[in-house]
A and B are shown apart, each in its own frame.
Chain A
Amino acid sequence: MSEMHSLVKRLLDGELGLAELPVELRAEGEWALRLLAAADRRDVRLGAGLDARVMAAVRRAAPEPSSAWRWIVRPFELRLAIRPWAALAAAAVLILLVVARPFGRGVPSASRAAVPESVVVRFVLYAPSAHAVSVAGSFNQWDRGATPLVPAGHSGLWAATVTLAPGQHQYAFVVDGRQWVVDPGAPAVDDGFGRRNSLITVGAPAGDKSL
């Protein structure tokens, strides 16, 4: 008989004590307990070299810090033709020039990131009746007081020159401190508050040319 008696199995499972086995099964029970006692319960320690090997593989797999803006890899200009929006009542015409000229390292670097070459951008708004115009966006914490536009003579145009890091930014104009105006010449996205934000995509500086 090669099968283990069920009472001996229960002994091994810890459900019975040896003394509870019938006499004729005691020997088998003792043998089985000796077998269990022989199981190798010694601690196993793996070498610390394993840690190094794991971390080497993990660091290889981790994304590089500089890959964050990998999707912008060359400069390009965003030139919008002047739209025939003047016919609209509250129209604003934006002429947006992205000047692909390296500006300099104005942005403090994070510990694992590299410093961006910022790009100079000129925002222009046609708002002849306004008393004050500013631009607020993701690049200035949406602070309507941070970036005022300056009237260009009596043309009705307001303008500001801003330094932006390469990438995509959302913004809107603020007229007279309270009226949020989207840029009619730029793509717009839902802002989540029932309004829209304008979108500007800024490329990295050119290697040589400026406009």
Chain B
Amino acid sequence: MERPRVVREDGALDGDVVRAVLAGDVDRYAELVQRYRDKYARYAARMLGSLDAADDAVQDAFIRAYEQLAQCRDPANFAGWFFLILRNRCFAERRSSGRLGKRTSLESDPVAAPDDAGRRLEDEELRQRLQRELMELTPEQREVFVLKHIEELSYEEIAARIGGSVAALKMRMHRAYDRLRERLTREEART
């Protein structure tokens, strides 16, 4: 993944903000929180299956990133480093309550700005079914699916972000395709 040079009209480079926080200006950490609060929220929501869980995970990740800020080797790439902390936090969910296996209905989740009242009911059902089945994948399989088909990264970009070879990622994805196909065709056969 290329290192984003995040420049905002109103603010400083990420690297400068990180350095300022490390130098003692703790209040400026809020700039990073505001910048990245929503950037990886969709990833967290799709990985964890609910908005509440995503909120918790992103909050925890920001706090942990602050605690470990001195270990951020490349402050200019705070975004990438923060993503890895969030990722670890998402993966850690499975070690606790087993929430990841739960079938979570996202229907009542005010997940996003409402976009399309005209979406067909069929597609809405399919969307929910797909999300449910994603939660039945292993976290690693779900992650590659989310990064490729929801975050719309290429395999190369995914490899740059989370490590591993493109070939290994493809294998993981293809196993995910198999499992999705298996579960969804079985479900279709039942209906």
* Partner-B contacts on A (CB < 8 A): 2-4, 6, 8-9, 12-13, 32, 34-48, 50-51, 53-55, 57-59, 61-62
List 25 contacting pairs A-B, 8 Å CB cutoff, sorted by A.
Answer: A2-B186, A4-B177, A4-B181, A8-B177, A9-B177, A32-B177, A32-B181, A35-B184, A36-B149, A37-B123, A39-B149, A39-B150, A40-B106, A40-B130, A41-B42, A41-B152, A43-B42, A43-B112, A44-B112, A45-B38, A48-B37, A51-B30, A54-B62, A58-B62, A61-B66
User: Which residue of the partner chain B has the closest CB to A50?
Assistant: B59
Given contacts A4-B178, A38-B130, contact A44 B41 (CB under 8 A): yes
Given contacts A39-B149, A42-B112, contact A2 B178 (CB under 8 A): yes
Most A Cβ at <10 Å: residue of B42, B45, B67, B123: B42
- CB of A44 within 8 A of CB of B174, answer no
- CB of B177 within 8 A of CB of A12, answer yes
* B1 part of interface (Cβ distance < 8 Å): no
Kindly identify which residue among A6, A48, A58 contacts B66, using a CB–CB cutoff of 8 Å: A58
* B136 part of interface (Cβ distance < 8 Å): no
Please, how many residues of chain B have a CB less than 8 angstroms from a CB on the other chain?
A: 50
Nearest Cβ on chain A to B51's Cβ, whole angstroms: 7
Given contacts A35-B126, A35-B180, A38-B126, contact A54 B38 (CB under 8 A): no
Kindly identify which residue among B51, B129, B130, B173 contacts A13, using a CB–CB cutoff of 8 Å: B173
- CB of B58 within 8 A of CB of A58, answer no
* B191 part of interface (Cβ distance < 8 Å): no
